[in-house]
Amino acid sequence: MTDLTTNHLIKQFGNRVVLDDINLTLKPNTIYGLLGRNGAGKSTLLSILANQITATSGTIS
């Protein structure tokens, strides 16, 4: 298994920026917690990582 890495990930809905320049590396066989208030973009990030929606810009590898 390899790392899951995001580089400069941005997601916009209309004029609203939901995710702004997210750089993240997730290692295999590790448990992570994703915390934040309502509307912070947690579900949007997971939906992009699961390829359910597309990012506005940035890369995932």
* Residues, the chain: 61
What is the spatial distance between Cα 23 and Cα 28, in angstroms, rounded to a whole number? 17
Instruction: Write out pLDDT tens, residues 4-56.
Output: 999 999 999 999 999 999 999 999 999 999 999 999 999 999 999 999 999 99
Measuring CA to CA, how many Å separate 18 from each of 3, 27, 30, 31, 52?
24, 24, 26, 24, 16
Residue 22, both tokens: 């997210």
Handedness of CA 22, 6, 52, 43 (dihedral sign): negative
Provide the pLDDT confidence category of residue 1 given band limits of 50, 70 and 90: confident
